[in-house]
Amino acid sequence: MKRWFKVCRARDLPPGRAQSVSIGGQPFAVFNVNGELRGMEAACGHMKANLAAGRVTGDVVECAMHGWKYCVSSGECLNQSTRPLRTFAAKTEDEHIWIELNWPLIVSDDEDRNADASA
Ligand code: FES
């Protein structure tokens, strides 16, 4: 089942910025790409730094720790052959930013990956 979760006030997410939120103990981020919202897992595939702290250029975020880059539209890691991060719908409603996740979240067999349940 899909469910919307509040991330932040809309005015706190201007273009070129990101906000993170912890949901079910997992970090997620919403990026404002020239007014378009993109939701994505926030834990970098390298050493789990929060990508919301990275530099956003267009639809690419560069991890603040060691520079891995991700497309926030597709979740693809642009400079390492690693699994893509999952992406999610995001919206503005009632002056807040929301991200849509499958709920409940579950932890997969792979401790490095956290998957959410399918509806
Ligand atoms: S933790 Fe993101 S590149 Fe190292």
The 3-class SS string of 18-41 reads: EEEEEECCEEEEEEEECCEEEEEE
What are 26-39's pLDDT values in tens digits? Answer: 999 999 999 999 99
* Verdict on whether the full-model pTM lies above 0.85: yes
Query: Measured between alpha carbons, how far is 20 from 63 in angstroms, rounded to an integer?
Result: 13
Per-residue pLDDT, averaged over 105-119, amounts to 46
pLDDT of residue 69: 97
As a CATH number, domain 2-102 is 2.102.10.10
Mutate to test the pocket of ligand 1, among 20, 40, 47, 61 (most ligand atoms within 8 A of CB): 47
Domain borders along the chain are 2-102
Higher pLDDT, 115 or 23: 23
CA 50 / ligand 1 centre spacing (Å): 9
**Best CA proximity match to 20, nearest among 31, 29, 33, 12:** 29
pLDDT of residue 30: 98
pLDDT score of 103 more than 60? yes
Query: Measured between alpha carbons, how far is 116 from 1 in angstroms, rounded to an integer?
Result: 10
Q: For residue 53, which phi and psi values (nearest 5 degrees)?
A: -85, 0
What are 82-100's pLDDT values in tens digits? Answer: 889 999 999 999 999 999 9
